[in-house]
Amino acid sequence: MASSSSSSLPAAWAAAVRAGAVAPALQAAVWACLAMSAMLVAEAAWMGLASLAAAAARRLRGYGYRWEPMAAPPDVEAPAPAPAEFPMVLVQIPMYNEKEVYKLSIGAACALTWPPDRIIIQVLDDSTDPFVKELVELECKEWASKKINIKYETRWEFVNYNVCLMTRIQKMSLDYHFKVEQESGSFMHAFFGFNGTAGVWRVSAINQSGGWKDRTTVEDMDLAVRASLKGWEFLYVGDIRVKSELPSTFQAYRHQQHRWTCGAANLFRKMAWEIITNKEVSMWKKHHLLYSFFFVRRAIAPILTFLFYCIVIPLSAMVPEVTIPVWGLVYIPTAITIMNAIRNPGSVHLMPFWILFENVMAMHRMRAALSGLLETARANDWVVTEKVGDQVKDELDVPLLEPLKPTECAERIYIPELLLALYLLICASYDFVLGNHKYYIYIYLQAVAFTVMGFGFVGTRTPCS
């Protein structure tokens, strides 16, 4: 009898600690996450409605902007200069050891339609590989001897989105970014974050805003925010497409997402007070920049996704005293998923994979956001996104990345993903055997996603030499 009594003491003590300390802290985390979830779904709904209104307005009256088509440029063979209404245009092409796509980039710029005496094309080559530098130089010399034409484009169109499931999921997220975030920002506030390419800037706007700055890894967004605070307006033209390439290796995508997420959060830290004290824009635009553009989308979104769906919900499955309302557990994530699916009707069948993949990537985005907000040593890490020229194999004669097969040895093991997978498996198994929350189906699926990505079975890989 004494033995039975003594053996029950640790269990009773553990239950008391769980009910008295763990459960209240976890319940507080649940309510904090629910508050952030409400902010996120409200922002998504507002942007969705604004983007639909923008689409309707564009069809009816062209956003309220008025423009007339320019006269056709003079014959490129004619010696006479172009009419004065054709502004001087500078096209800049940054390069960094990109032997797979240098021909495409330079050729695309030189194949545009614009009077030759009104266009300057700069190839900004920072390559460290002497062979690549020589190739770029030869290509520039070849095009310099030709007659060229020029026209501009703005919305990204992904040439390699069907390479693998990871690139298809990226396309879904970026299509939503352009169709909803950029469209609504342009329509409601004449502002959106410049993505660094496929855009046309006035030189006077760049100069008046203080020029390019390298204080963060998102110098394009930095310039856009400063220009907006100077009163410049932005126009998103979603009907025009420009070809772009998605990172198709998991490692390249992780580096890209760290740079984008960390840089935006770090810019928020650096510019928040400047936005608050600005005297040249309205309170409405200040609110949009501080709350919607930075706080909700660049700070709350990456932190909430990982904290709530990968930490709090699984842990609550092991603490019966903690409850999560169905509206926060089911209705809000379902609403956000539906709003994304509406703008990606051709990819509805991929939404479950999109959810699981985005939750895994949220781990990296949260770490990057905190790094930027706290300005840690990694806040200014810059790794150039690898280009592989997936879409032009025959033209470039370059070995392409090949889909990674589960039967092959992965190039790299990702320890953080595997540790999270173990944590999720423990939580799911506890809920399945001893718990009463019935979260284990979702948690098991998420554990599988972390495991698959942890072993590198996602994206493409570089073929062995």
Residue of 242, 225, 243 lying closest to 234 (CA atoms): 225
Same domain membership, residue 147 and residue 285: no
Given 374, 389, 424, the domain boundary residue is 374
265 within domain boundaries: yes
Tell me what the mean pLDDT of segment 302-323 comes to: 94
Percent of the chain past pLDDT 70, that is, above it, reads 82
Distance CA 314, CA 301 (A): 19
DSSP 8-state class, residue 392: G
Mean pLDDT of 113-120: 83
Q: Which of 67-71, 129-133, 160-164, 204-208 has the highest mean pLDDT?
A: 204-208
Indicate whether 417 belongs to any domain: no
Residues 149 and 238 in one domain: no
Domain count, the chain: 2
* Of the residues 153, 183, 199, the one at which a domain ends: 153
82-116 tens-digit pLDDT: 566 778 888 888 888 877 788 888 888 888 778 88
Which has more confidence, 234 or 129? 234
Choice among 75, 117, 126, 431 that is catalytic: 126
- Residue 244 falls within a domain, yes or no? yes
| Alpha-carbon gap, residue 259 to 142, rounded angstroms | 34
pLDDT band at 58 (very low <50, low <70, confident <90, very high): confident
Residue 416 located in a structural domain: no
**Same-domain check for residues 271 and 125:** no
**Residue 293 within a domain:** yes
Strand, helix or coil for residue 122? strand
Same domain for 126 and 173, yes or no, is: no
Q: Print burial letters for 3-22: b (CB count within 10 Å at least 16), e (below 16).
A: eeeeeeeeeeeeeeebeeeb
The answer to whether residues 281 and 353 belong to one domain is: yes
Residues 324 and 368 in one domain: yes
Per-residue pLDDT band for 159 (boundaries 50, 70, 90) equals confident
327, 357, 374 - which closes a domain: 374
- Regarding whether 171 and 307 lie in a shared domain, the answer is yes
pLDDT in tens, 170-186: 999 999 999 999 999 98
Residue pair 35/296 in contact (Cβ under 8 Å)? The answer is: no
Quickly state the pLDDT bin for 465 (edges 50, 70, 90): very low
Same-domain pairing of 106 and 132? yes
Q: Active-site residue 220, yes or no? A: yes
Mean pLDDT of the chain: 83
Q: How far apart are the first and last CA of the chain?
A: 70
Residue 8 has pLDDT above 70, yes or no: no
Query: Rounded to a whole number, what is the largest CA-CA distance in the chain?
Result: 108
Closest by CA position to 373, among listed 276, 279, 302, 267: 267
Known catalytic membership, residue 239: no
- 444 within some domain: no
Catalytic residue among 220, 381, 394, 397: 220
Looking at the fold, whether 333 and 192 belong to one and the same domain comes out as yes
Q: Please report where in the chains the tokens 């660094």 appear, as a residue.
A: 196
pLDDT at 462 over 80: no
Q: Are residues 119 and 177 in the same domain?
A: no
Do 128 and 265 lie in one domain? The reply is: no
Residue 315 located in a structural domain: yes
Secondary structure of residue 92 in the 3-state scheme: strand
Based on the fold, state whether residues 243 and 142 are members of the same structural domain: no
pLDDT at 153: 42
64 lies in some domain: no
The dihedrals phi and psi of 170, each to the nearest 5 degrees, come to -60, -40
Query: In this model, does residue 44 exceed pLDDT 50?
Result: yes
Which one is predicted more confidently, 280 or 66? Answer: 280
Q: Sorting pLDDT into bands at 50, 70 and 90, what band is 389?
A: low
- Which domain range does residue 131 map to? 97-153
DSSP of 342-378: HT-GGGGGGHHHHHHHHHHHHHHHHHHHHHHHHT-TT
Q: What is the share, in percent, of the chain residues with pLDDT greater than 90?
A: 49
| Residue 115 and residue 82 in contact, taking contact as beta carbons nearer than 8 Å | yes
Task: Determine the average pLDDT of the residues in 32-60.
Answer: 92
261 in Cβ contact with 175 (< 8 Å): no
> Which of these ranges, 110-124, 127-141, 156-170, 386-400, has the smallest mean pLDDT?
386-400
pLDDT above 70: residue 420: yes
pLDDT at residue number 83 = 62
